[in-house]
């Protein structure tokens, strides 16, 4: 029987805390349809973002973090004009 989600425990490489993440069936399907058999999910966590690489079986295949940047986003019109 296929479950609608899978829980994975990931150790954050930045702050070393353990994070419990629910991986939905749509994420597993995305990994299955990928040429590499992997996909990446982003989880906001303690002031940074945890990027978790997930395989077609719903298992973690690696994790890294990126900083959250609060910046003004400029809208650029087609053709490069603001």
The arithmetic mean of pLDDT across residues 16-33, rounded, is 96
d(CA 12, CA 10): 6
Instruction: Please name which of 45, 41, 56 lies closest in space to residue 13, comparing C-alpha atoms.
Output: 45
The percentage of residues in the chain with a pLDDT greater than 70, rounded to a whole number, is: 93
d(CA 44, CA 82): 31
Mean pLDDT (the chain) is 91
Residue 1 binned pLDDT confidence (cut-offs 50, 70, 90): very low
Q: Who has greater pLDDT, 77 or 31?
A: 31
């Amino acid at each position: 029987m296929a479950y609608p989600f899978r829980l994975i425990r990931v150790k954050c490489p930045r702050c070393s805390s353990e994070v419990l993440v629910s991986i939905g069936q749509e994420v597993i399907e995305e990994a299955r349809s990928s040429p590499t058999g992997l996909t990446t999910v982003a989880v906001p966590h303690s002031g940074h973002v945890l990027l978790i690489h997930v395989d077609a079986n719903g298992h973690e295949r690696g994790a890294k973090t990126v900083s959250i940047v609060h910046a003004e986003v400029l809208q650029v019109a087609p053709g490069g004009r603001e």
